[in-house]
Structure formats: C-alpha cells, structure tokens
Chains A and B, each alone.
Chain A
C-alpha cells in the first residue's frame, strides 16, 4: 500500500510539472510569465548608482584629505575655506550613499561611522585631550564622520579667524590638528574599503542574488531604502529637530548644525538621491535604467502606485524648497512649516512600507517565525 501511495504521489507531481511545461510550449499568447528582469535592476543599481556614488564620494574625500594636509601645514583662513568647501562637496555626495547599508558597509558599520548626529562635542574634546581613541568604537560613533568635521570646521569658533586660532594659538593646537586629520583619513579609508569590496567581489554576488528571501539583494536594498527614508531622511533630518518625537522642538539636532545654513541643501540632495534610486536614474549620466518603479509597474494593478510615490516625492521637494536654508532657523522661527513638511514626507512612508511592500511581497522584518 505504501508503494502504491508513493506511486500515486509521484504521478500527481509529474502531472503538475508536465502541465506547466505544456503551457510553456503553447505559450506566446500569455503575458503572465515572470518577465521582469530583476537581475537587470540589480545591475543598474550596482553599476550605475551604488558604485558610481562610492567612486564620487571617495574622490571627494580624497580632495578633502588633501585640503586637510594643506590646512595642517598652513592653517590660514584661505586654506580653511578650501577645506570647508571640500567638506561640503563630500557631504552632499554622502546623501546618495547613506541608504545603502549592504555588503561591506553593513559589515563595518560604515554608516554609523560617517553620519551620526548630533555630534558629541564632549566626546570629541575628550578624545583630543586624551589622544587615546579608537575611532571605530561604537562609543565614538557620535564623535566621528561628517558631523564631527562639522564641529571641527565650524563649531570651534564663531568666525573664520577664531576657527583658525583653534588650530594655531592654543597649547592643544597640534592635538586638534591630529584629530582633524585622523577623522578625515578614517572617513576616506572606510569609503575606500567599501568601494573596493564592491568593485572586487561583492558586485557579482550582489547582482546574482535575485531571490525573494531575507538575504536576497532586492529585499536587503528595499528594506534599507525604506528604513533610510523613514529614519535617516524623515526622522533625522525633519522629525527630530521639529520635535515630533519629543515634547519640544530641538533645533540643535539638525544635520550640519554648526555650518548652520547647510541643512536644507543636504536634505534636497537626499531627496534627489531617494527619487533617483526609486526611478533608477544613473548617478553620473542621469539616464534611467531598471528600477523599483519599473518593478512595481510590472505587477498587475499597481501601475498607479509608482506614480503616486513619485508625485509624493515631488510634493515633498516642493515643500522643502519653501523652508529656510537653515532648518535650525526654520524650527526656531516657524516650526509649523517644518512639521508640515514632516507630514508630507510621512505620506510616502505609508505608500512605500504598506502598498509597495505588499505589491512586491517583500517581508519587512527578518523574524523568521512560522506563519499559518
């Protein structure tokens, strides 16, 4: 009887498979085969977006490191100005990189060593004085990266002259220069590491991993993308300073607080980065490739969803454009405009996290508990 059972079981399985191949043979009239090329999307992400972003960031950080050398040798207001410009240029490119927390970036905690703000002035000062610090330590995440440089280049004095004096007149001047130098070098080394890994081996692993599992590249990047939109973009840049997660507004929590009038410029770069990623726009050439939007459009009944998401991005950008160059100033003078911006950004969170993830059937959490 057991033999017969297995025979019957086998027959059913064979029948099923043969049915499906029959259908393939007679195909051509059906447009329901899985015709979205996920591999092409991953290749577009890797070759036209992620790697070019890291390359650009790396070269901007090389310039920053070079300007830092010049400034260290000759701490003059003119050299400080060049150093500051290099920092701004690199910080803008960073806005395109922060959403990709995969591969080496995830392994070495890259993002947390590059842009945790507000930076901790006390930690920075202690590090400078002690000269005994491990910049890779989790405890120093808020004393390194772009926000730490923001303080070192703008926060240590009210005028350019005062900042230059910080590195020239005090007994600690040399220690300060060393810390400035170590910070810059570390950012460049880390970026180099991530970039090399992408170029050497990770790229191929990344583009070949098209499966719909928690470790598949699409799932990883889409989850990162949504996380970044909700946390790195929505909460960090707008929500927290506007006080939507606290009792009172916290203007000193904005990105690049010490530069003061730079937060809007960074937020707009980030907005572009988000939209470009969603529509698959190449970082260098600006031409469109296979994207998340295309993926959504390939699924029946979701054609209008990608349009809704894009128009929500446009609405958010329009609103951000009306804000003060300095978000800190905006929060202090008219916080309502800031919370309104937050609310507009929030609407896309729902579209991304609820509608998009449902359409793509991507799991939002990595809890591998059983289902029914």
Chain B
C-alpha cells in the first residue's frame, strides 16, 4: 500500500494538461475581471454601498475607496500573467491574494464559484503550471516536458469534489420529490424561445431536470475519469453548463467549468490544443523557439504533498460541518456556505428592524434602503448572520446619533422553496445582545416543516 502510494507520487506525466489548464484559467479570469469592471459592478457592489457585510473573522477586509480599482487591476493583470506563464509563481500568488481579498470585502456577493476560484488559485501556487509552454521557460531557457502526475490529478480532484458535493447536496426531499426550486424557476422562463411556453411548464420536466442534475453532479467526475466515457462526459459537461447558462444568470462559471474539465483529457489532446495556439500565434509571426528540456522535480515534494493532503481533507470535511448545527440547514444556513450547495434554494425574506428605547418605551422602524443596496437587503433578509451584523451596524449608527439606551429587534419573514412565508427571527430578542460566533444561533425561529436528506 505504502509502496503504491510512494510510487504514485513518483509517477511522471506530460506537462501539457497543466499548461493548458493554466492558460485557460488565466484567460477566463482575465475576461471575468474585465467583464466585472465593464458592468460597473465595482462601483455598484463595492464602492456605492455605505456598509459591507463581512465574513466572521475577516471584518478587516473592506473596500479601500478608489484603491479598490487597483486591487482589480492587480487581479486582472496577474490573471493575464498566469495565462502567459510570465513570472508565474508571483502572478498566481498575487491573483490568489487579490481575488480572495475582493471576495472577502462583502459576503453579499458570495458565490460558490468565486470560492472555487480562490481554492483553485491557492492550489495552483504549488503546482508547476508554468513548467511547459510559458514565457518563463523562454527566460529560463529551460522547459519541462514531464511533471509529477499528482499535480495534474490534484486539479482533477478539486473539480471532482465540487461536482460530487454539489450532487450530494441535491439528495434532499425538496429537490428530488418536490422538484423545488426548479418548479419555481423553470416555469418563470416562459419567455424562452421554443421551450418556454411548453417544456418549461411541464411538471415531469422539472422532476427530470432535478434528477438528472443530481445524477450529473454525482457521476460526472467518474465519467470524466474513465477513458471510454470521457467524450460523452465532456459532451454532457458542455450541454449541462450551456443549458444552465441559458436558464440562469450565472456569468462566467459555466465556461470556467467547461474549460476546467479539459484537464481530464489525455496529454495528446492538450498537445493538439497547444499546437493550435502555436498555429494561431504564427499569424502574428510569433514562432516557438527550441528550448532545452528536462524533467520537473520538486525540491520539497514531501512538504508540499503533505500540505495539500491536509488542504483536501479540510475540503472534504468542511461541507459536513452543518451536521454540528441543529436542523434545518436550508432554513438556518449555519454551515451552508463553502459547501458546494449550488442553486438549491429559492429563498425570499423581509426584515423590518425596530429600534427601541427601553427607558422611554419608544421605538421606530428602520428604512433599510437608507443603508443597504437592494442586493444587500435581499441577501440580508434571508440569512441570520447578515441580519445580526446589520443589527449591530444599526446599533452603532443610532448610538452615534445619540439614541441611548438602545435595543434592536427584527420582525422578519422568510419563504423557502415555495412554502408560505413564516416568521424567521425571534422578534423578542434584542440583537445587540447577540454576537456572531460558530455557536448555533438560538434566536432563529424553528422551521415549520421538514426537509429530509443530506
């Protein structure tokens, strides 16, 4: 066993798959940043709001005024450098740091696929992705045709984890037996050409989509790994992601996953891809130069492998942390994030905050639009940690205006997956006396239904 283990970590494979992944990933990220900027989202999401929701423990990460643009410039340029393989190690470290900083600035914008990108870029810091077909090899006048097999496999493992855990998360009664939330989302696409008025309205189709989505997520990693099903699997990947892109506003994510899953293919395919890039560059009279070749060897492989093993064990355990909290996960959202729970819920809420002066027995309500963007308000009203953080922010605001003594209560309602709205947070709890922690939040009212499953 141990022998196999050791042998595996000494296996070598072509450096092409990782090089292609690096190029694809870098380009996608570069385009994503340009797209993000051009849509005016830097202003809308990070500069305009007066208040930002922080991740627990990362309250110090905030937008930094006009310097925020600089972070995006660093992020975009480092992504481009990753693609080019120019100063790769520095570029990927800068990309990881800047991208993660951007994501940590406001959890309103949390998306699983942003988290995925942070993880991939973190992993890539330790991989020899610029060993082959990169500008760095031109400077060093040396390139490596072979790299350790496990470096390619680590990317595959991360991709497989994302899919598989997304599939596990779909093993619940709402998704499988009520076709929720697709039953809400699909019929509302009545304006799609051809299929909007009929197919999207069929109940069997909602179930078919739910079940096939679950099966797709659970089994696509295996199908991609197994050589005989790989092409079929890739067709499925393309179809699934393009189809979901048509249905839902999911931005660049589908393209990233499509490009990403190329890493499962044989090196031959990657050599072909590199060859076509070379042909394309010839149009601009950029010709490949002969460079000396060698085999890549880590000087500290043991250390890196053990570190990455810890990283993956954490990744495998983190999505199950919800089991440490009382149910219902979808309702309470304790341990919901960072777990590949993608498109699982249709959740809407309404939160009306009450500022009370207990001494004079007076109160007034808060107009949320005074402090929050509509996007922030939407996210806040369905997630307890947002509600708590906002309540404390309101406390500071009104204390500064001389409102003391002060207590803050919230009257809130949430509707989950087509159920009628129910009271969400205990309206008799002064939120200023509650603090964020990893402990279960006692002031979330119980969910008056049952969602079975993982």
Instruction: Indicate whether A139 reaches chain B with its CB closer than 8 angstroms.
Output: no
List chain A residues, Cβ under 8 A from B41: 369
Q: Are A34 and B190 neighbours in the complex by a CB distance under 8 Å?
A: yes
Chain A interface size band reads 35 or more
List chain A residues, Cβ under 8 A from B45: 367, 369
Tell me the B351-377 residues at the A interface (CB within 8 Å): 352, 357, 362-367, 373-375, 377
A226 to chain B, nearest CB (A): 11
Q: Are B250 and A365 neighbours in the complex by a CB distance under 8 Å?
A: no
Q: Are A8 and B235 neighbours in the complex by a CB distance under 8 Å?
A: yes
Kindly identify which residue among A1, A8, A30, A366 contacts B232, using a CB–CB cutoff of 8 Å. Answer: A8
Instruction: Indicate whether A333 reaches chain B with its CB closer than 8 angstroms.
Output: no
List chain B residues, Cβ under 8 A from A370: 111, 249-253
Instruction: Indicate whether A118 reaches chain B with its CB closer than 8 angstroms.
Output: no
Q: Are A350 and B421 neighbours in the complex by a CB distance under 8 Å?
A: yes
Kindly identify which residue among B234, B238, B366, B415 contacts A358, using a CB–CB cutoff of 8 Å. Answer: B415
Instruction: Indicate whether B308 reaches chain A with its CB closer than 8 angstroms.
Output: no
B194 to chain A, nearest CB (A): 7
Instruction: Indicate whether B350 reaches chain A with its CB closer than 8 angstroms.
Output: yes
Instruction: Indicate whether B196 reaches chain A with its CB closer than 8 angstroms.
Output: yes
- The residue on B at minimum CB distance from A246 is B364
Q: Are B418 and A12 neighbours in the complex by a CB distance under 8 Å?
A: no
- The residue on B at minimum CB distance from A211 is B191
Given contacts A5-B231, A370-B249, A371-B248, contact A24 B198 (CB under 8 A): yes
B330 to chain A, nearest CB (A): 14
A242 to chain B, nearest CB (A): 10
- The residue on B at minimum CB distance from A364 is B378
List chain B residues, Cβ under 8 A from A361: 184-185, 187-188, 346
List chain A residues, Cβ under 8 A from B346: 358, 361
List chain B residues, Cβ under 8 A from A299: 187
List chain A residues, Cβ under 8 A from B112: 372
Q: Complex formed: what's the CA distance from A364 to B350 in Å? A: 11
Q: Are A212 and B190 neighbours in the complex by a CB distance under 8 Å?
A: yes
Most chain B CB within 10 A, of A213, A216, A355, is at A355
List chain B residues, Cβ under 8 A from A5: 231, 234-235, 238
Mark each residue of chain A from 17 to 38: 1 if its CB lies under 8 Å from any CB of chain B, else 0.
1001001100100101110001
List chain A residues, Cβ under 8 A from B363: 244
Q: Are B191 and A371 neighbours in the complex by a CB distance under 8 Å?
A: no
Instruction: Indicate whether A346 reaches chain B with its CB closer than 8 angstroms.
Output: yes
- The residue on B at minimum CB distance from A11 is B235
Instruction: Indicate whether B6 reaches chain A with its CB closer than 8 angstroms.
Output: no
- The residue on A at minimum CB distance from B423 is A350
B239 to chain A, nearest CB (A): 5
Q: Complex formed: what's the CA distance from A354 to B416 in Å? A: 10
List chain B residues, Cβ under 8 A from A32: 201-203
Most chain B CB within 10 A, of A248, A346, A357, A364, is at A364
Kindly identify which residue among B184, B198, B364 contacts A33, using a CB–CB cutoff of 8 Å. Answer: B198
List chain A residues, Cβ under 8 A from B187: 34, 299, 361
Given contacts A34-B187, A369-B45, contact A13 B250 (CB under 8 A): no
Q: Are A366 and B191 neighbours in the complex by a CB distance under 8 Å?
A: no
- The residue on A at minimum CB distance from B366 is A245
Q: Complex formed: what's the CA distance from A353 to B113 in Å? A: 28
Q: Are B196 and A359 neighbours in the complex by a CB distance under 8 Å?
A: no
List chain A residues, Cβ under 8 A from B378: 364-365, 367
List chain B residues, Cβ under 8 A from A350: 350, 413, 421
Kindly identify which residue among A4, A368, A369, A372 contacts B231, using a CB–CB cutoff of 8 Å. Answer: A4
Kindly identify which residue among A38, A245, A301 contacts B364, using a CB–CB cutoff of 8 Å. Answer: A245
List chain A residues, Cβ under 8 A from B403: 247
Instruction: Indicate whether B200 reaches chain A with its CB closer than 8 angstroms.
Output: yes
Q: Are B249 and A371 neighbours in the complex by a CB distance under 8 Å?
A: yes
List chain B residues, Cβ under 8 A from A369: 41, 44-45, 109, 375
Given contacts A32-B201, A364-B374, A368-B39, contact A359 B253 (CB under 8 A): no
Q: Are B250 and A371 neighbours in the complex by a CB distance under 8 Å?
A: yes
Instruction: Indicate whether B304 reaches chain A with its CB closer than 8 angstroms.
Output: no
Kindly identify which residue among B111, B269, B350, B420 contacts A372, using a CB–CB cutoff of 8 Å. Answer: B111
Q: Are A34 and B415 neighbours in the complex by a CB distance under 8 Å?
A: no
List chain A residues, Cβ under 8 A from B250: 370-372
- The residue on B at minimum CB distance from A243 is B364
Q: Are B184 and A358 neighbours in the complex by a CB distance under 8 Å?
A: yes
Interface of A is mostly: loop
Q: Complex formed: what's the CA distance from A367 to B248 in Å? A: 14
Q: Are A30 and B202 neighbours in the complex by a CB distance under 8 Å?
A: yes
Instruction: Indicate whether A268 reaches chain B with its CB closer than 8 angstroms.
Output: no
Instruction: Indicate whether A275 reaches chain B with its CB closer than 8 angstroms.
Output: no
Tell me the B136-169 residues at the A interface (CB within 8 Å): none
Q: Are B191 and A20 neighbours in the complex by a CB distance under 8 Å?
A: no
- The residue on A at minimum CB distance from B412 is A350
Q: Complex formed: what's the CA distance from A20 to B193 in Å? A: 13
Mark each residue of chain B from 165 to 201: 1 if its CB lies under 8 Å from any CB of chain A, else 0.
0000000000000000000110111110011111111
Q: Are A244 and B348 neighbours in the complex by a CB distance under 8 Å?
A: no
A341 to chain B, nearest CB (A): 14
List chain A residues, Cβ under 8 A from B418: 301, 358-359
Tell me the A198-225 residues at the B interface (CB within 8 Å): 210-213, 216
Tell me the B22-66 residues at the A interface (CB within 8 Å): 39, 41, 44-45
Given contacts A5-B235, A8-B231, A32-B202, contact A20 B195 (CB under 8 A): yes
Q: Complex formed: what's the CA distance from A224 to B274 in Å? A: 53
Kindly identify which residue among B190, B252, B362, B375 contacts A367, using a CB–CB cutoff of 8 Å. Answer: B375
Q: Are A1 and B421 neighbours in the complex by a CB distance under 8 Å?
A: no
Q: Are B364 and A213 neighbours in the complex by a CB distance under 8 Å?
A: no
Instruction: Indicate whether A305 reaches chain B with its CB closer than 8 angstroms.
Output: yes
List chain A residues, Cβ under 8 A from B373: 365, 367
List chain A residues, Cβ under 8 A from B199: 20, 23
List chain B residues, Cβ under 8 A from A213: 191
Instruction: Indicate whether B429 reaches chain A with its CB closer than 8 angstroms.
Output: no
List chain B residues, Cβ under 8 A from A23: 198-199, 202
List chain B residues, Cβ under 8 A from A360: 188
Instruction: Indicate whether B223 reaches chain A with its CB closer than 8 angstroms.
Output: no
Q: Are B374 and A367 neighbours in the complex by a CB distance under 8 Å?
A: yes
Q: Are B350 and A354 neighbours in the complex by a CB distance under 8 Å?
A: yes
Kindly identify which residue among B249, B362, B374 contacts A366, using a CB–CB cutoff of 8 Å. Answer: B374
Tell me the A239-283 residues at the B interface (CB within 8 Å): 239, 243-248
Q: Complex formed: what's the CA distance from A211 to B343 in Å? A: 22
Would you mind naming 5 contact pairs between A and B with Cβ atoms under 8 Å apart? A30-B202, A38-B190, A355-B420, A365-B377, A370-B251
Q: Which residues of B contact A (CB under 8 A)?
A: 39, 41, 44-45, 109, 111-113, 184-185, 187-191, 194-203, 231-232, 234-235, 238-239, 248-253, 269, 342-343, 346, 348-350, 352, 357, 362-367, 373-375, 377-378, 403, 413-415, 418, 420-421
**Pairs of residues from A and B, 5 with the lowest C-beta to C-beta distance, nearest first:** A370-B251, A365-B374, A361-B188, A211-B191, A367-B375
Apart from A23-B199, A245-B367, A355-B415, 8 more pairs, CB < 8 Å: A1-B269, A5-B238, A8-B235, A248-B362, A305-B420, A365-B374, A366-B374, A367-B378
